[in-house]
Amino acid sequence: MTTAAFSCQTDLGMLSRDALRARQTRLLNEHLRHCRQQSPFYRKLLAGLPNRELALEDLAQLPTTSKQDLSLHNQDFIAANGQPVADLCFTSGTTGAPCQIAYSRRDLDRLAYNDAVGFLAAGFQPGQRILLTCTLDRCFIAGLAYYRGVVAMGATAIRNGLNTIESHAQIIGALRPEGIVGVPSFLARLGASLPEQGVDASSVKKIVCIGEPIRRQNMSLTPLGQKLEALWPEAAHSTYASSEIATSFTECRERQGGHPPADLALVEILSPDGRVLPPGEIGEVTVTPLQVEATPLLRFRTGDISFLVPGPCPCGRATPRIGPILGRQAQMLKIRGTTIFPNAFFSVLETIPGVVDYYLEVTGTCLADDVTIFAALADGAPVTAKEITEKLYSRTRIHVQTNLVPPEEARQRIYGHSRKPVRFFDRRKG
């Protein structure tokens, strides 16, 4: 495992493709040696495979790691290498039981570098004030990573955390941040409320959106993304990350897909039978995070469905770009013979005037799903449950039941039990 210090002063994504390939090949082989020597899980998994130097193309010959593997053999993944673990976090558990992820001191430096590179690519600048609307507590690694990233790039962090709209409005009015990091649905509500509170938010030039997609498959903005665009023109940048892969894919200033830091991750898109798919084809995001010490992973199948954006990015980076997350493998629905992801319903609900929040419950079996939509309406909203059902059908060609719930009840359900907004509740059997 390399011991070189991380520095965000040079964007390695701007290396030539040959230079980037050589660096990634070296890092991949260092990563494999570390997995074999220090991780009990990978020592066993890789025991029957030739122990030789690999080219990047050889990565597809190695076995994948699933979330189930991480859950069943959690402690066997830890590879502390004789060094004390500096931080312990847990995955969000939105699609299963939370898993423990350990970080060494160097892993925390890697996280800082990871987010600093992404923030700089998105347009955050040293010396700016960046408002963080995400928590650093509850064993949540992302909030710590964002904070460390802001500091590492030479900016000022404003750690207001998971707070009320009123509190963030006061911070924006008083401290005039140039950037914000947060969940886009919350930031849309925050931005819409600021004029009502007499707060000038014109200082905000860049937003990094976490936890929810703001783009469609064709890379156009979703209704939620359009709300942010109307509030802060050309400010919103999408990002993709997970606690397990310890790496973020953040959109550059072109805002056409998220780049990973060049020396921190190899990304593949896999078909259900494990084939590597070419750019443009949809499959499961599979990541090999490089330069990780305490919890190394190899070809980790995230369960998230997306694609690699075809062609080079106009920004000039040689790194691949990941498209928006279209859904999660575990959340795929089968309704009367039609396969669909929850986001198809959510994108319609975002366009209906008067709908202020929503979530979905699914029951039945894995062979036939029954879906109920729960929608919260603003006072005096000009829409009924029947009209919502009709609008959903007109766009998806699927009939689902719609129930209306009070806004506070919806908020408690969506935001009350997880660090992330949870809009999908799985009650299926089998």
Instruction: List Cα–Cα distances, 363 to 156, 374, 391, in angstroms.
Output: 46, 14, 22
- On whether both 216 and 132 belong to a single domain, the answer is yes
pLDDT for res 159: 95
Tell me how far apart the alpha carbons of residues 310 and 308 are, in angstroms, rounded to a whole number.
Answer: 6
What Rg value do the Cα atoms of the chain yield, rounded?
22
The answer to whether 137 and 176 are in contact (CB under 8 A) is no
Provide the pLDDT for residue 3.
61
Question: Do 117 and 8 form a contact (C-beta atoms < 8 A)?
Answer: yes
Q: Answer with the one of 290, 309, 327 that is the final residue of a domain.
A: 327
Return the pLDDT at 140.
Answer: 85
Please indicate, yes or no, whether residues 352 and 301 belong to a single structural domain of this protein: no
Do 281 and 307 meet the contact criterion of CB atoms below 8 Å apart?
yes
CA atoms within 13 A on the CB side of 403: 11
Model-level pTM greater than 0.85?
yes
Both 1 and 103 in a single domain? yes
Looking at 327, 349, 365, the residue that finishes a domain is 327
CA 177 to chain centre: 23
List the CATH number of the domain containing 392: 3.30.300.30
Calculate the alpha carbon distances from 236 to 119, 165, 204 in Å. 12, 19, 10
CA distance 384 to 377: 9
Both 125 and 256 in one domain: the answer is yes
Is the Cβ–Cβ distance between 163 and 293 less than 8 Å? no
Q: Per-residue DSSP letters for 83-137?
A: SPP-EEEE---TTSS--EEEE-HHHHHHHHHHHHHHHHHHT--TT-EEEE-S-S-
Q: Look at residue 83 in the predicted model and tell me its pLDDT.
A: 75
Do 36 and 48 touch, CB atoms closer than 8 A? Answer: no
Of the three residues 276, 303, 327, the one that is the final residue of a domain is 327
At 430 the pLDDT is 60
Closest C-alpha among 64, 79, 92 to residue 30: 79
Q: Which residues contact 387 (CB under 8 A, 6 or more apart)?
A: none
Token digits for 16?
Answer: 């030539």
Do 276 and 367 have their domain in common?
Answer: no
Report yes or no: 291 and 110 within 8 Å, Cβ to Cβ.
Answer: yes
Q: Do 321 and 339 share a structural domain?
A: no
Query: What's the total number of domains in the chain?
Result: 2
256 CB burial (10 A radius; 0-12, 13-18, 19+): middle
Question: In angstroms, rounded to a whole number, what is the distance separating the alpha carbons of residues 65 and 289?
Answer: 12
Residue 306 sits in the same domain as residue 371: no
Three-state secondary structure along 104-116?
A: CHHHHHHHHHHHH
Q: Are residues 304 and 377 in the same domain?
A: no
Fill in the DSSP letter of residue 4. P
Residues 294 and 352 in one domain: no
Range of the domain at 34: 1-327
Q: Does 160 share its domain with 290? A: yes
Pairing relation of β-strands 424-426 and 355-365? Answer: parallel
248, 115 in Cβ contact below 8 A?
Answer: yes
Is the domain of 313 the same as that of 339? Answer: no
402: part of which helix (H) or strand (E)? strand 401-404
- For residues 285 and 415, membership in a common domain is answered with no
Half-sphere exposure of 179 (CA within 13 A, CB side): 24
CATH (domain of 250): 3.40.50.12780
pLDDT average per 10 residues of sequence, the chain (430 residues): 74 92 97 95 93 94 95 90 84 70 95 96 97 88 94 96 93 98 94 95 97 92 94 96 94 96 97 95 97 97 96 94 91 85 90 93 84 94 94 92 95 80 85
> What per-residue confidence (pLDDT) applies to 94?
56
Coil, strand or helix at 181: strand
